Structures are given as structure tokens and as C-alpha cells.
Structure 1
């Protein structure tokens, strides 16, 4: 399960690039109840989404020419310079070179060999998200690519991730876990082949919710869209893929109750 005791390869941050950060803050506030807190006058409009005073994500203006609004998943690196070299050696590319973020940590942004964008955070004063795996917080991240096996090889070279096959309706799904500790307890995400409405190469964040259908209604009522309608996935829970008013895609999951 995704937690906040981050280790190498853990998803430890997410942020949204938006053409209108005020509108994004209003939308996600209405849908998830998040509060927006500015990172300060020197942060270029960047700020934090918080739940009960704890950071659950962030949002900032688009900075790359031609970029479209999207959520970015960050993974923990203990040596961001080495990770950048490994990305290039593995066939990926560097979009933003490693940089010190005002002493809070180091960040870099990359594109994997199949075109999925992701980022890395090497913690300084800011370790990462402060709440995960509870209602209205990040619970899972999922990569959709044409060649899942090649993707797993690439990311294993960066972070040492482990993978396990899980048969899902109509496809073979690979569950990802960090390299250390119990594989099931260390699971944080998955890799799936491109298909249907989900057919764009990308990482997608999943947020845990108490009622997936109520969130779908809130998204529609606040100018968002339904990408994939809410549906039950056996042994997982009820899932929907959604788009915010700027068409940034995210997903929600009402997990099945744990047994035992």
C-alpha cells in the first residue's frame, strides 16, 4: 500500500500543471474538499493542495511550451544526478535537468522511452506527500503504455522495482512494488497495455474516495468530464477515469473492503 515512509522508487509527490491554477484549485476543492495554500511569492504561482492541513498534492502553471494540462507523478531518488544519467542510458530523455528547489529537495522531469512523462524528487526539507491511501488522497499510480514489458525493464533500471502479473478483465496487468521489503506491502501501482479511451501513453494518479459515483457527479457538476464511467473491478473496487475542466486526466477508486 502506498504510504508516506518513502523509499527508493516510491511515488512521493504529485502535481498538476494547469493553465488556470485558480480554476483548478476551485475545481479540486469542490470535488475532493482540498484547500489551496500558496508556496509563497517566489514560487511562481506554485502551491499545495491540502487535506486537514496536510499536503496531498500540488498545482502550478504550465511552464513548457506547448504543454497541456496534466498530472505528474514523482518517484523518490536518493541520487537524482545518477537517475538522470540512467534515464538517458535507458532510452528516455530529460525534460528538466536536476535542480535544487529552494532547499526543499531536488527535482527533475523526464520522458520514458515510450513517451510517458514522469518526474523524480530527491527529498531535502520536504520529504513528500503528507497523507496517502485515505479518502481524497493518492492511493495508486498506473502507467499505460504500448509495451508494458519494455516499460518495466526501463523503470527497474532506474528504481529496482519488482513486478507481479495479475489477470484483470480483458488484459494482463502488472502490479509494481518498490525493491525493498514485502512485495505485496510495497505495491504502489501498476502497468497496463493501451486500450480504448485509456489509449494514451501516460502515468495516471488514482485518488481513494468513499463514493466513486458521487465524485463522478461532482466532477460533472463542476465542469469536468467522464473519461471512463464508474465500474466495478473484481477484487479491486469501483473505478472511474475523469478529466478536470482543463482536461487533465485522473482516476478515482473506492477500494473493496479489506478482508480479515
Structure 2
């Protein structure tokens, strides 16, 4: 069962190579399998779910931890009240809705919910 605040997903850039080369590496080294969502995104489910993206989509140049929330608006308010800075307001994406924020140390994270 998902819990609010649980690290649920990890997005990583494939900008140092091509999406195909990154998928080939993880397939060969660790036997990972992938599900493609268009030419710019490929997801994996290998203990911790995640995905690789290309520069063609609006993604971070660093890995992006994605937390889960049962109530996105309540979590957005909690993040703001705790001193987080919202850098991408709530938006829809395939699978749900999410927002991005910066923590006090300057780390970018996202929170998603259905």
C-alpha cells in the first residue's frame, strides 16, 4: 500500500547517451526490462520503479526522486508551510498529477498522486 511521503519513483536523464544505449546498458548489466512511452521516455520496474528521459522532454539534468501522496493538494500545502519552494505547480501527466519543489538544501523533488 502506498503511503504519503514514500519514495515511489526515480526519474533519471539519459542525456549522456541515447535512450537506447542507456536501456541496453541496464539490460546487459542487470537484466532490467523497459516499457517505452514514446521516443523520449522509458520506464523500468526493478525494485524501485523509475524511468529514463531524454533532453527532448522537460526533465531535470539530475536524477529526480518522486514521492507519492494520497492527497496532492494537502501535500503541496505541507511542503510550502515547511519551507519548500514550489517550482512546478500541479500538472497532469500520464498516470496522474504531480508538482515539483525545492527543499531547503536546493534538491529538486516531485510529488505525484492520482
Structure 1: distance between partners of 2:66 and 2:103: 13
Partner of 2:108: 117
81, 102, 111: which is aligned to 2:73? 81
The alpha-carbon deviation at position 36 of structure 1 amounts to 2.3
Q: Contact between 2:10 and 2:48, CA under 8 Å: does it hold in 1?
A: no
Q: CA deviation at 1:115?
A: 0.9
Match for 2:44 among 29, 40, 49? Answer: 49
Q: Which runs of 4+ in 1 moved over 4 A?
A: none
Q: In the TM superposition, what whole-angstrom CA distance separates every residue of 1:107-141 from its partner, at most 9, and x where no partner exists?
A: 2121101112211111x3xxxxxxxxxxxxxxxxx
Q: Does 1:96 align with 2:96?
A: no
Tell me the secondary structure at the aligned position of residue 114 of structure 1: coil
Q: State the structure with more CA Rg.
A: 1
Question: For 1:1-260, what aligned pairs fall within 5 Å after superposition?
Answer: 5-19=1-15, 20-40=18-38, 45-50=40-45, 56-62=49-55, 63-64=58-59, 67-68=60-61, 70-102=62-94, 104-122=95-113, 124=114
What secondary structure, in the 3-state scheme, does the structure 1 residue paired with 2:24 have?
Answer: helix
Q: How many residues align?
A: 110
Q: How far apart are residue 55 of structure 1 and its match?
A: 7.9
Instruction: Work out whether residues 8 and 48 of structure 2, in 8 Å CA contact, stay in contact via their aligned partners in 1.
Output: no
Change (3 A) 1:77 1:18: same
Stretches of structure 1 that go unaligned for 5 or more consecutive residues are: 125-260
- Counterpart-to-counterpart distance in 2, 1:34 and 1:107: 26
8 Å Cα contact 1:18-1:60 kept in structure 2: yes
List per-residue Cα deviations over 1:153-179 (Å, max 9, x = no partner).
Answer: xxxxxxxxxxxxxxxxxxxxxxxxxxx
Preserved CA contact (<8 Å) 2:8 2:49: no
CA shift digits 1:174-193 (9 cap, x unpaired): xxxxxxxxxxxxxxxxxxxx
